[in-house]
Amino acid sequence: MTTSRRKFIKISALGLGGVAATTSALNMFGANSYLDTLVKENVAKTFKRTPTYCEVCFWKCAAWTYTDEEGAIKKIIGNENDPHCYGRLCPRGTGGVGMYNDDDRLKTPLIRTTVNGEQTFREASWEEALDLIALKFKNIKETYGPEAFALIKHGAPGAHLEHLFKAYGSDTIAEPAYAQCRGPRETGFALTFGSWVGSPEPTDIRDTKCLVLIGSHIGENMHNSQVQEMSDAIDNGATIITVDPRFSTAASKSKFWLPIKPATDIALMLAWMNVLIEEDIYDKEYIAKYANGFNELKEHVSQFTPEWAYGITGIKPNEIRETARTMANAAPSVIIHPGRHVVWYGDDSQRARTMAMLNALLGSWGRRGGFYFKESIKVPKFPHPPYHHPKWGWKEIGEKYPLAQMGITTEVLKAAIPSEDNKYPVKAMMVAGTNITKSIPNKKLLEEAIEALEFMVVIDTMPMDVTGYADVVLPECTYLERYDGIRSATNREPSIAVRVPAVEPKYDSKPVWWMAKQIGERLGLGEYFNYNDFKEVIDWQLKQMGSSLEEMEKIGVKNFTRKSGPLYINEDETYVFPTISGKIELYSQELKDLGFDAMPNYTKHPEPPQGFYRLNYGRAPMHTFSRTANNPNLNDLKKENDLWVNPKVARILGIKTGQAVWLRNQDDVISSFSIKVRVTERVRWDSVYMVHGFGHKEKRLTRAFGKGINDTELISKVAIDPIMGGTGMRGNFVEIITKNPHKNIEI
Of 126-134, 428-436, 551-559, 658-666: span binding ligand MGD (CB under 6 A): 428-436
Q: 117: exposed, middle or buried (C-beta count within 10 Å: 0-12, 13-18, 19+)?
A: exposed
Q: Which of 6, 246, 374, 414 binds ligand MGD (CB under 6 A)?
A: 246
Q: What is the DSSP string of 440-481?
A: SS-HHHHHHHHHH-SEEEEEESS--GGGGG-SEEEEBPPGGG
- DSSP letters of 371-400? B---B--PPPPPP-PPPP--SSBHHHHTTT
Please report whether residue 205 would count as binding ligand SF4 according to CB under 6 A.
no
Which member of 90, 268, 297, 650 binds ligand SF4 (CB under 6 A)? 90
Stretch that binds Mo ion, among 181-189, 287-295, 451-459, 464-472 (CB under 5 A): 181-189
Q: Does 620 interact with ligand SF4 (rule: CB under 6 A)?
A: no
- CA nearest 35: which of 76, 64, 65, 70? 76
Give the x-and-dash track for 56-75 against ligand SF4 (CB under 6 A): xx-xxx--------------
Selected binder of ligand SF4 within 223, 427, 697, 730 (CB under 6 A)? 223
Number of residue whose CB is nearest ligand MGD: 215
Q: Does 65 bind ligand MGD (CB under 6 A)?
A: no
**For residue 430, what are the β-bridge partners?**
151, 457
Written as one letter, the residue type at 507 is: Y
Q: Taking the alpha carbons of 649, 655, 659, 660 in that order, is the dihedral positive or negative?
A: negative
Among 85, 148, 357, 734, binds ligand SF4 (CB under 6 A): 85
Q: State yes or no: residue 137 binds ligand SF4 (CB under 6 A).
A: no
Where helices occur in 621-725 by DSSP H, the ranges are 632-637, 647-653
User: Residue 399 Cβ, how far from ligand MGD at the closest point, in Å?
Assistant: 23
Position among 99, 106, 124, 181 found at the interface with Mo ion (CB under 5 A): 181
State which of positions 39-58 bind ligand SF4 (CB under 6 A).
54, 56-57
Q: Are 254 and 242 in contact (CB under 8 A)?
A: yes
* Pairwise CA distance, residues 61 & 83, whole Å: 8
Minimal distance in Å, beta carbon 211 to Mo ion? 20
> Taking a C-beta distance cutoff of 8 angstroms, is the pair 411, 397 a contact?
yes
Tell me the C-alpha to C-alpha distance, in Å, between residue 86 and each of 24, 73, 397.
20, 22, 41
Question: How many residues form the binding site for Mo ion (CB under 5 A)?
Answer: 1
CA distances from 729 to 342, 343, 346, 692 (A): 9, 6, 8, 12
Backbone angles phi, psi at 76, to 5 degrees: -120, 130
- Any contact of residue 262 with ligand MGD (CB under 6 A)? yes
In the bound complex, what is the minimum distance in angstroms from residue 69's beta carbon to ligand MGD? 27
Nearest to 102, CA basis, from 696, 704, 717: 704
- Helices within 497-624 (DSSP H only): 512-522, 534-544, 549-555, 589-593
Q: Which does 73 bind (CB under 5 to 8 A by kind): Mo ion, ligand SF4, ligand MGD, none?
A: none
For residue 302, count other CB atoms closer than 10 A to its CB: 12
Residue 176 binds ligand MGD, judged by CB under 6 A:
yes
Task: Respond yes or no on whether the N-terminal peptide bond of residue 200 is cis (omega within 30° of 0).
Answer: yes
The interface partner of residue 85, options being Mo ion, ligand MGD, ligand SF4, none and the CB cut-off 5 to 8 Å by kind, is: ligand SF4
Residue 343 is a binding residue for Mo ion (CB under 5 A)? no
* Number of amino acids touching ligand SF4 (CB under 6 A): 14
Question: Contact region for Mo ion (CB under 5 A) — 174-182, 296-304, 548-556, 629-637?
Answer: 174-182
- Render 123-144 in DSSP notation, one character per residue: E--HHHHHHHHHHHHHHHHHHH
Q: Which stretch binds ligand MGD (CB under 6 A): 357-365, 373-381, 438-446, 644-652?
A: 438-446
What does the DSSP assignment read for 162-183? HHHHHHHT-B-EE-HHIIIIIH
Residue ranges binding Mo ion (CB under 5 A) = 181
Residue ranges binding ligand MGD (CB under 6 A) = 55, 57-58, 154-155, 157, 176-177, 180-181, 214-217, 221-223, 243-246, 248, 260, 262-263, 265, 339-341, 344, 432-435, 438-439, 441, 459-462, 464, 466, 476, 478-479, 512, 616-621, 623-627, 692, 711-712, 715, 729-730
Residue ranges binding ligand SF4 (CB under 6 A) = 54, 56-57, 59-61, 85, 89-90, 92-93, 222-224
